[in-house]
Structure 1
Amino acid sequence: MFSSWVVSVSVYGIISAIDSSNKLRLKWNVGENKLHNQKIPFSAQNIDPTKTYHFSTDHISYLEKGFVDDLDGTIDASQLEIKTFENVRILKIIGLTDFWKINANQKKTIHGLMSYLLSGLHEGNIPVLFGISGRPDNIEIFMGTFGSDVSRVEGNIITLKKTLNAFFEGISIKMQQFDDFNNLIKEFKQSGIVVSSPSYSGKISNQSPLDVTPQSKKNLELMGSSTEIDELLRGMYGENFCYLIYAIPVSNKEITAYNNMILKELRFLQESMLSHSATQNIRSPLGQTYEELLNNYLRSIKTAKRTGLWNSSIFLFTQSPETMNNLKAISKAVFGSNRTMNDRVQTLSLTGKLTKNGLIMNPPPTSPGQLQHPYAYMNTLNSNDLGVFINLPSQEMPGFSIKPYGRFKVSKQDTDDINITIGEILDRREKTHNCYKIPVGNLNKHGLIVGTTGSGKTNTLFFLLKDLWKKNKIPFLVIEPAKTEYRSLLFSEELKNDLKVFTLGDENTFPFRINPFEILDGVTVQTHIDLLKSVFNASFYMWGPLPHVLEQCLHEIYIDRGWNLASNTNRLGLHNGANPTLTDLYNKVDDVVDKLGYGKETTMEIKGSLKTRIDSMRIGGKGLMLDTRRTMPFETFLNKPTILELESLGDDDEKCFVMGLILTRMYEYYISKGTTEKVDLKHITVIEEAHRLLGTSQNDNPYVGNTRGKSVETFTNILAEIRAYGEGILISEQIPTKLAPDILKNTNLKIMHRIVAEDDRKAMSATMNILEQEALMVTTFSPGYAAVYSEGDTGAYYVKVPYSKIKATSSENKDYLIKNAMLDPIQDKKTLAPYEGCAKYCSNICQYKNLGRNVSRKRLFLPKIPYLILAMLDDAPSLPEILAQMAESGREEGELSKNAVGIGICALVHGLEYFFDQVSLRYQWSFEDREKIQSILLDFTIEMLKEYHKDPQQFSYESLDQEKMKEFNEYYQQICTGKQPTNLCGKICTENTCLYRYYLSKMLNDEEYKRRSIQLFDENDHLQWKQFYQKMIRELILPDISDDLIQKLGLCCILQTGFSKDISPLKIKILIENIIADYPDSTPDEENLI
């Protein structure tokens, strides 16, 4: 080791800033991405000419980050000061073309392109995130950006994507959720960091990283331009690991400041060394070494002035310590071997759990000299050096493809049929002035249009749909799961007066209504249940017993509604009320699962799984659309060009569910109209992103049924059968291999736009008679260009589809035009209303639905409805108080909406709909009776609600509408006649009526009542029974009802409790008779004795 040496020197104009410790310090503010120099105005007076400056090996050790060695290879994760970022957007990089082979004469390498890409991102001040996720069977590569401003991050990710496409020819990219990648990281148990500052090409020079010498060109051709990332991936092949980099640009101003700082440090050192050699007549080896290091840094910073400088944090993640040791060793070998480094490649294992990732902000230790590192564990790298760590593989790996770069048929014979044009045939990208045409009638054999995003699929469909309507008047239906591109057809001359647009789940433009459970005439209930089951299984992941439980629930909700599944009849009448709803299905889950006898944990899991899926479709706009009794007439969609936009449905499973409902509804509609033979093309349906519904499904477990695969098979069979009715299906898909194989095989017209993935090309090529070299060309297709194949062709044609999209207009104008175009498409306004009472009582349907629903579910609203009815039947004095409590339940929501009456009406419609829906099924009322009794009570309660809000202080018994109360009581008793479940009921209610059975649940479920009732049955003391139920009824039900009603309610409770506890009917009869006998003027009804 060198001994320390001392130099006394007088220095002028060397150091730009000196703090109290005579240390020049640099500090980066990552939040604003700025470098702050704490500058003191320089003058000769800043430096003491007589001061003695010390240099030692500590200076060299510090500059080489020797303080990392002191950690002995480990550091506690909790000691890292990590700055995280909420807004992160990433791209998954799926593959490349081997462009470096083609472009070798153009002096291009992967590393050079990545360095240039990073240089460009630096100029745009765009932070970079790079990650590799390795698994035993594949790798995933991600690149993205981050920051605090979400709008800027969104713009930056677009810039990054475009830049990648610009620099890496044929790169295949897709957007990825960062949470998916972040969750992968959290699974790892071991973590580490890399501290390094490498220099590319073996020595620091001013040569461009894109420059290729004759020897390096030969090496590239032999080695395939292998990158350090290739070596890292080969070394970690088959292991679970993750490699992650956060990098943030350093501003040009900061780079200049850093450059000047090193220059001044060098000047000071050199003058110090000159002074030392003058006195000692020797040149210090220590000073020379320090000078070489500073010169290396200076050359690196000069390169950074051209290419950009970055602060970066590099993380390593694995599952086991052994794998972490492998990853650390390989990282050092790959990034540090055979390279002159400013800093050595150093790796540290982290002890403890690393709970977050981002930029490591730990400050460095104090420097012994004038130059101080900005951060302890962050790496300051120019774009060339950072391009070593951030790069793409040049060799194919599982999960990352390297595709090669690559004449179609040109003579197409026209037919005498009515034809539709697809586009102009090209020969080697040159026009032939001939068009590719097919007979219009062939479209009922279906078509498949595939291609990556932006390849021209939508433009092709625009062109076909406009031509079909303009020349042939063939209507169409477009099911658009994402985006809202097709609505721009409203601006086309061909469609502007005829097109209808429905915004599914969006109530602000033009809403849509479809009841999944509605039965069409001519379709059996069992057929509909089977199709509906397929929709559920194709849309949602159904584990274990869920499909069977769901099927049981579906059967029971139809049985509850009066349907006989064998005879396809309904004993309660054919009415909208005969159609179940999603709410019925939701409520049925508990009953069915409880009866199946699963264990407690399994029962809870099944209930939670099913109810969560169902309930998600009952809220907001989805609930208005799906949780309804009525479906819009399907003729509305089949007689005119129509677009169904599903963009407002954010969940892919729910989009798939709605798409399945529409397809099955169309199929059932045609069935209801009757089978026909040899029907010409009558209608076209376009299904965008069909993989959601018609996706491929594999089941690797032979012991578990493939319910999704079976459901997809059902829908592919529907497509095969529906052509007999004159229906043609055009399927648009980005990734054809996501589709079920039958879709690829059984579609006649195939249009393949640009496809990058090899498996997709092969799948399509196999069904289009495309040769291998032709398939390779598909990856280079520009938007609007496609390979086209149909019946009778011996091969595919290279076709350019005319541009047919509509000039964009602001979304506000589009919505306005949609509303104008949809002035009155549905004559029956009840179709848009979720309940029967909405159209009658609500001036603006569903304006307050969410608030009204919330009020109706409150403790003083829905549970009060049974007591309201009991009070009306008994003419109880507490009736005004019950009405007032229900009205006051919506006070908070009324103040919020400035319309307390409107909220109250909505709550009453909600509450009474739900209440009578349950009660009517128990009483087995006909749907007409249920509708009438509900309407009478709604008239009464809404009138009383308005009366109450006029003057709450004056609302009293005299305010009640006695005529309405009388009408309700009479009709209620009428429809309750003949409903007594046992002969003993005649001891309680006269004239064979059953008035109270379903209104006593609160008392029957009360813990005190259940406990005491068992004791009383054992004691068989009718007087204690009488005292007990009188007390409970006044406390739990109504305090001021008549003694006669208390007696009837009490006896009804005894009767229900006795039968539920398997008490002897004779014992129950005697108990009831004894209680009745204890009341004055009571005589037994001999006709009802058992």
Structure 2
Amino acid sequence: MFPLEIYFVLTLILFVITILFYISKIREYNPRKSQYIIFILLLIMCSIFFSNLGSFILSGIGESVETALFSGFSQLLLFFSVFVFIKSFFISDQDIIELKAPSRYRARKGSIKIGKIMRKERKKHKFFLSLKDLERHMFVCGTTGSGKSNFLQFFLTNFKKCYDIPFLLVEFKGEYTFLQDIIEDLLIIKPGENFSINIFNPEGANPEIHAERIFDILKSGQFLDEHAEFSPQMQKVLVDILTIVCSNPQYQNWKGFFNQCEQYLENEKRNIPMLHQSLVSIKNRIRRFSLGPLKAIFATRYKLSIKELFDKNILIDLSSIIRLGGEKEDALFFLNMVLKYLWDKNLTQGAYQFKGIKHLTIIEDVQYFAPKDLSSQSKLTTYLEDIALLQRGTGECLISIATRPQVSEEILANCGVLIVFKSYMQRSLLREILNLEEENEDYLSILEEGQCIARVNSVKRPFLLWVPYIERHWLKRGEVNIKNKQILKRLKDKDKPDIKLNREELKQNTKKEIKIIKTGSRLRKIKKSLKNKGTIHKYYCKFCGKEVEQNVEKCEECSTKLEKEDKEQRELENFIDTLLDKQTKS
């Protein structure tokens, strides 16, 4: 017989655990592991009860009152535990998200792991995103702290494991620096600290077009007062000056720009009224980039050029601009200049032999750089729109992250992958682009941290996705600089050709050259010997001695038919001339 005292203690513990489990279910906690523990304990206690059933009944009849109470109370606790445990499963959670999950086969069509598919509250199989879906761009949205940045970090880590495709990540908060320890050869760029742009250098683009775009960027960033009357004539003045500066490498600096302003004023002051006041206003607004603390962003030269940004893994931390005393508009101006050079590069390459994604551009807080309310006011703030709309065919992929969907409609309309974390604002808009049913709109506000609703072109319906949390750490500025130097050195060494391979190639090429030279030398000797015999380029009739032309059958003077050996001689000489011509060209 099983000891009754121990049996009573075990049933009491089981009853307490079951009651706590029931309370947690009512309060909408998720004690998934504890339910398995309770189930195992119930099986053990029930097996003990049924195996000792006769002993427990006899102890309740023939033993003392105390023993009978112990036995009866123990059975009561056990039965109550079973009842409460079963009843807890009938408690319905009002906040369960019920979306149809894609099959395991469809979820594994891609290669980039982005999380696990959830069915109600249970994590199922992993979901892999395909590169084909990513070709149509991605938009990630959600409130602060819902898991957007964690998703992007998880995505980038797995993306680089699968593909050697460079990316450009632009962010404000410096929360991605730890990726330098995870992603190989990730350069962290901080404008004004270890990187700068010469905005007057068109980098191979048409100087006049480059000047027009600088003007538009300045105007869209509201450095040139939006409410001021900028007539077409006034715009032409500034563009003319910028064109002169951008066309001549000697003027491609701030000193050259201001000198050309003075020169232009001297030349055109009689032709353009109020030119002096307009130029003073323009110079005062632009002077912040040339003389103030932001000078380091657009004046200092560093080892890495703007052209090298787009074939490496780059993280641009715009928080350095804020630390230098800049504002959001300054960061907008800097980013638009970077995107301008990216735009030029992609237009130069075009869609020739398009074979998929060649480069990723990832923008955090995209609502600052391509807001919906500014897209109709200017052209250059929509560089991100143009990339989303026009440059998919050039191999460019845009990934936009925002706290709310108040961004350009072009970005929303041209995204093949949509990831939405918990959101309270504009849920109806998000529901439409997610293709959710109207009655499921409240799903967007009850998502837990790390959960998101995903819509992928290759999957017919949206589904619930769980993204694992990535532990992050912070890198100090000195650590970042040291790693950047190591990466640049490693990339430079990688670009150097292999000496051993070069020696082998040189050896093989030398052998070929020697063989070619020997062949050419032999041909020249043969030609020389024929020339010494007087038979090269000049042919004579054996009957009359008259010189005859090549490729004729008989002598024009005496009509003597040329002998066969003379024709063979000419054919040999023609063949030698052909070989020498080919040898000379090669």
Query: Shorter-chain TM-score category?
Result: 0.5 to 0.7
Query: Which amino acid counterpart does residue 554 of structure 1 have in structure 2?
Result: V
Q: Find 1:500's aligned residue among 173, 187, 198.
A: 187
Question: Separation in 1 of the partners of 2:131 and 2:202?
Answer: 33
Q: Does 1:613 align with 2:296?
A: no
Q: 1:814 to 1:436 in 2, by over 3 A?
A: same
Where do 1:294-309 residues align within 5 Å?
A: none
Where do 1:916-1065 residues align within 5 Å?
A: none
Query: Which amino acid counterpart does residue 774 of structure 1 have in structure 2?
Result: N
Other structure's SS at 1:717 match: helix
Decide whether the 8 Å contact of 2:339 with 2:383 is kept in 1: no
User: Structure 1: any 5+ residue segments left out of the alignment?
Assistant: 1-104, 107-403, 564-571, 700-705, 828-1090
Give the TM-score normalised by the residue count of structure 2: 0.59
Where do 1:81-100 residues align within 5 Å?
A: none
Q: Does 1:786 align with 2:416?
A: no
Q: Find 1:797's aligned residue among 455, 460, 463.
A: 463
Superposed displacement of residue 619, structure 1 = 3.8
Decide whether the 8 Å contact of 1:520 with 1:669 is kept in 2: no
Question: Separation in 2 of the partners of 1:786 and 1:559?
Answer: 52
Q: 1:452 to 1:551 in 2, by over 3 A?
A: farther
Question: Separation in 1 of the partners of 2:148 and 2:269?
Answer: 49
Q: 1:698 to 1:813 in 2, by over 3 A?
A: closer
Q: Does 1:529 align with 2:216?
A: no
Where do 1:74-473 residues align within 5 Å?
A: 407-412=98-103, 414=106, 418-431=110-123, 433-473=124-164
Question: Separation in 1 of the partners of 2:394 and 2:250?
Answer: 30
Query: Which amino acid counterpart does residue 461 of structure 1 have in structure 2?
Result: L
Q: Find 1:661's aligned residue among 337, 340, 359.
A: 337
Superposed displacement of residue 526, structure 1 = 3.3
Residue equivalent to 1:189:
none
Question: Separation in 2 of the partners of 1:661 and 1:753?
Answer: 31
Superposed displacement of residue 489, structure 1 = 0.5
Decide whether the 8 Å contact of 1:765 with 1:775 is kept in 2: yes
User: Structure 2: any 5+ residue segments left out of the alignment?
Assistant: 1-25, 28-94, 493-586
Residue equivalent to 2:237:
552
Q: 1:800 to 1:406 in 2, by over 3 A?
A: closer
Q: 1:513 to 1:816 in 2, by over 3 A?
A: closer
Question: Separation in 2 of the partners of 1:630 and 1:595?
Answer: 42
Query: Which amino acid counterpart does residue 313 of structure 2 have in structure 1?
Result: P
1:325-369, Cα deviation, whole Å (9 max, x unpaired): xxxxxxxxxxxxxxxxxxxxxxxxxxxxxxxxxxxxxxxxxxxxx
Question: Separation in 2 of the partners of 1:811 and 1:595?
Answer: 57
Other structure's SS at 1:528 match: helix
Q: 1:631 to 1:582 in 2, by over 3 A?
A: farther
Superposed displacement of residue 658, structure 1 = 0.9
Decide whether the 8 Å contact of 2:118 with 2:465 is kept in 1: yes
Superposed displacement of residue 416, structure 1 = 7.8
Superposed displacement of residue 669, structure 1 = 1.6
Residue equivalent to 1:48:
none
Superposed displacement of residue 478, structure 1 = 0.5
Question: Separation in 1 of the partners of 2:211 and 2:245?
Answer: 14
Q: Does 1:691 align with 2:367?
A: yes
Question: Separation in 1 of the partners of 2:107 and 2:179?
Answer: 30
Residue equivalent to 2:430:
764
Question: Separation in 2 of the partners of 1:744 and 1:641?
Answer: 26
Where do 1:632-643 residues align within 5 Å?
A: 632-634=304-306, 636-643=308-315
Q: Does 1:514 align with 2:197?
A: yes
Question: Separation in 1 of the partners of 2:437 and 2:230?
Answer: 45
Q: 1:581 to 1:628 in 2, by over 3 A?
A: farther
Give the TM-score normalised by the residue count of structure 1: 0.33
Q: 1:499 to 1:553 in 2, by over 3 A?
A: same
Decide whether the 8 Å contact of 1:456 with 1:784 is kept in 2: yes
Decide whether the 8 Å contact of 2:168 with 2:309 is kept in 1: yes
- More strand by proportion, 1 or 2? 1
Question: Separation in 2 of the partners of 1:444 and 1:467?
Answer: 17
Decide whether the 8 Å contact of 1:586 with 1:614 is kept in 2: no
Residue equivalent to 2:417:
749
Q: 1:641 to 1:805 in 2, by over 3 A?
A: farther
Other structure's SS at 2:319 match: coil
Q: 1:719 to 1:780 in 2, by over 3 A?
A: same
Q: Find 2:295's aligned residue among 603, 606, 623.
A: 623
Question: Matched residue pairs, number?
Answer: 389
Q: 1:414 to 1:457 in 2, by over 3 A?
A: same
Other structure's SS at 1:435 match: strand
Question: Separation in 2 of the partners of 1:632 and 1:529?
Answer: 23
Other structure's SS at 1:724 match: helix
Query: Which amino acid counterpart does residue 544 of structure 1 have in structure 2?
Result: A
Where do 1:789-938 residues align within 5 Å?
A: 789-806=455-472, 808-809=473-474, 811=476, 814-815=479-480, 817-822=482-487, 824=489
Superposed displacement of residue 682, structure 1 = 1.7
Query: Which amino acid counterpart does residue 722 of structure 1 have in structure 2?
Result: Q
Decide whether the 8 Å contact of 1:533 with 1:551 is kept in 2: no
Decide whether the 8 Å contact of 1:425 with 1:798 is kept in 2: yes
RMSD: 3.4
Superposed displacement of residue 765, structure 1 = 1.9
Other structure's SS at 2:392 match: helix
1:68-95, Cα deviation, whole Å (9 max, x unpaired): xxxxxxxxxxxxxxxxxxxxxxxxxxxx
Superposed displacement of residue 677, structure 1 = 3.9
Query: Which amino acid counterpart does residue 448 of structure 1 have in structure 2?
Result: F
Query: Which amino acid counterpart does residue 555 of structure 1 have in structure 2?
Result: D
Q: Percentage identity across aligned positions?
A: 20
Question: Separation in 1 of the partners of 2:374 and 2:185?
Answer: 42
- The one of the two structures with greater contact order (alpha-carbon pairs below 8 A, sep at least 6) is 2
Decide whether the 8 Å contact of 1:518 with 1:629 is kept in 2: no
Other structure's SS at 1:421 match: strand
Superposed displacement of residue 729, structure 1 = 1.1
Residue equivalent to 1:722:
391
Other structure's SS at 2:143 match: coil
Residue equivalent to 2:356:
680
Other structure's SS at 1:649 match: helix
Q: Does 1:648 align with 2:320?
A: yes
Superposed displacement of residue 594, structure 1 = 5.9
1:515-572, Cα deviation, whole Å (9 max, x unpaired): 2222233x322332333333223322522334853553132232356x4xxxxxxxx6
